[in-house]
């Protein structure tokens, strides 16, 4: 294991078990069972448990730690900002310099006309605000979303997320949401009409299995929205801030959205998100005043972390690094597929936003990788998919460690030993 951390315990085994018990007792659980890991530290691409075990993190906390865990510049920014002030009224009478700095950075890479941002705390909050904004600006009730999509678990975001078993218990949700197959322009054309406020789409589906559309899909959606007078909302919550090798994943197809939503990696590890649009569209939130509000969105400490993380991506060449190492990662995964064609059906991705499709259930494979010191993720809407989203600072040597462990797991399955 290549690691900046020493494999030394920070707690006794009794303390570890106590935290696992108290966590299960005191925190509301949405999945059964006790947690396997009590976290002690994280640096770069390595996570350390309280009992001293080291893991190679190929998840980035679900595409959050894009500049690596505890990047020194991010830690310093958080520390210095907390010394000055950690919270004031973020949407009140104060002009907050940290908000100005992060918004200027984000909008500088968003594309022509997208010059205004509303700061939030999470991806679901960003998508909620975008849905409200689209309805208010257009005066229309309907949304078009896509099969296998995921936009969050709050009421509006859940309404445009595809998986019925998670929507049904909370219905009635937003009315007039139509789901169509992803990457199917004919189906989209049939659904987008004069009642459509917006089409909301992930440029690459994250929880749908890192599914990359055809080259004509996003440009085609842009044309369909223009013809119908609907807005195009692109959800960059998982794909933004360098994950695909560009600042935003939709930029691979040279498409201009009306609204971009983002979060996850924006805050460099702290809760921060944003909605980006045009001044004209955002003007609708001023009539009447206070049409939309947040208490914690744009928190100064989170903004300071986000500024530092943005500057790390820009100054350390992480977009270019992501393209190179992402290509290397997919090349190594393709070699695994060639070696185990009966187990690995597909490899796909852009940048360091990758997945491989298994012919067996994904979660047991992810569990066995964890047992062997590598953290990967499954996805919510594709049962056979393993998600691989390491920090953008990952090295080829660390990728080799991951591939070696994966090969060992698949060999055990192929030989019947697992």
CATH for 72-315, options being 3.30.70.100, 3.40.50.970, 3.40.640.10, 3.40.190.10: 3.40.640.10
Mean per-residue pLDDT of the chain: 96
**Cα–Cα distance measured from residue 269 to residue 175, given in angstroms and rounded to the nearest whole number:** 35
DSSP secondary structure letter of residue 213: P
As given in the structure block, the two tokens for residue 64 are 């959050």
Cβ neighbors of 272 (< 8 A, separation 6 or more) are 102, 119, 120, 121, 263, 266, 297, 298, 299, 302, 303, 305, 306
The sign of the torsion formed by the CA atoms of 281, 236, 350, 352 equals positive
**Cα–Cα distance measured from residue 262 to residue 129, given in angstroms and rounded to the nearest whole number:** 11
pLDDT digits (tens, 9 = 90+) for 44-71: 999 999 999 999 999 999 999 999 999 9
The sign of the torsion formed by the CA atoms of 296, 298, 304, 309 equals positive
Residue 381 has pLDDT above 90, yes or no: no
Residue 123 has pLDDT above 60, yes or no: yes
pLDDT digits (tens, 9 = 90+) for 242-259: 999 999 999 999 999 999
Bond from prior residue into 288 cis (ω within 30 degrees of 0): yes
DSSP secondary structure letter of residue 88: -
Report the DSSP beta bridge partners of residue 165. none
pLDDT digits (tens, 9 = 90+) for 260-306: 999 999 999 999 999 999 999 999 999 898 889 899 999 999 999 99
- Range(s) within the chain of domains with CATH label 3.90.1150.10: 13-70+318-414
Determine the average pLDDT of the residues in 311-338: 98
Q: Above pLDDT 70, what percent of the chain?
A: 99
Residues 364, 412 contacting (CB under 8 angstroms):
no
**Cα–Cα distance measured from residue 141 to residue 134, given in angstroms and rounded to the nearest whole number:** 9
- Range(s) within the chain of domains with CATH label 3.40.640.10: 72-315
**Cα–Cα distance measured from residue 324 to residue 91, given in angstroms and rounded to the nearest whole number:** 41
Q: Write the CA distances from 388 to 329, 347, 369, integer angstroms.
A: 9, 11, 12
CATH class of 13-70+318-414: alpha beta
């Amino acid at each position: 294991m290549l690691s900046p951390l020493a494999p030394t315990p920070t707690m006794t085994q009794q303390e570890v078990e106590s935290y696992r018990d108290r966590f299960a007792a005191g925190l509301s659980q949405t999945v059964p069972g006790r947690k396997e890991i009590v976290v002690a530290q994280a640096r770069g691409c390595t996570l350390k448990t309280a009992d001293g075990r080291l893991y190679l993190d190929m998840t980035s906390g679900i595409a959050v730690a894009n500049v690596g865990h505890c990047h020194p510049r991010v830690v310093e920014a958080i520390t210095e900002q907390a010394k000055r002030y950690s919270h004031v009224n973020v949407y009140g009478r104060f002009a907050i310099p940290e908000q100005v700095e992060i918004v200027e950075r984000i909008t500088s890479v968003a594309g022509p006309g997208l010059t205004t941002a509303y700061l939030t705390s999470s991806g679901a909050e960003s998508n909620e605000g975008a849905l409200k904004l689209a309805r208010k600006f257009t005066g229309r009730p309907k949304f078009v979303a896509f099969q296998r999509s995921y936009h969050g678990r709050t009421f509006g975001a859940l309404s445009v997320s595809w998986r019925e078993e998670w929507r049904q218990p909370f219905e009635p949700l937003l009315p007039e949401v139509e789901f169509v197959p992803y990457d199917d322009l004919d189906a989209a054309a049939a659904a987008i009409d004069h009642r459509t406020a917006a089409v909301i789409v992930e440029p690459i589906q994250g929880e749908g299995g890192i599914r990359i559309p055809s080259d004509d899909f996003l440009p085609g959606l842009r044309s369909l929205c223009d013809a119908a007078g609907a807005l195009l909302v692109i959800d960059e919550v998982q794909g933004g801030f360098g994950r695909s090798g560009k600042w935003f994943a939709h930029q691979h197809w040279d498409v201009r959205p009306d609204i971009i939503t983002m979060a996850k990696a924006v805050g460099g590890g702290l809760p921060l998100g944003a909605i980006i649009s045009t001044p004209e569209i955002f003007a609708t939130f001023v009539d009447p005043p206070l049409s939309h509000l947040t208490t914690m969105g744009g928190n100064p400490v989170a903004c300071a972390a986000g500024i530092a993380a943005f500057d790390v991506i820009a100054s350390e060449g992480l977009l270019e690094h992501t393209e190179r190492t992402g290509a290397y990662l997919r090349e190594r995964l393709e070699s695994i597929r060639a070696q185990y064609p009966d187990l690995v059906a597909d490899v796909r991705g852009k940048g360091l936003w990758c997945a491989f499709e298994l012919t067996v259930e994904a979660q047991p494979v992810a569990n066995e990788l964890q047992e062997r010191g590598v953290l990967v993720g499954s996805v919510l809407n594709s049962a056979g998919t393993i998600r691989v989203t390491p920090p953008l600072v990952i090295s080829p040597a660390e990728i080799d460690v991951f591939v070696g462990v994966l090969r060992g797991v698949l060999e055990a399955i192929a030989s019947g030993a697992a």
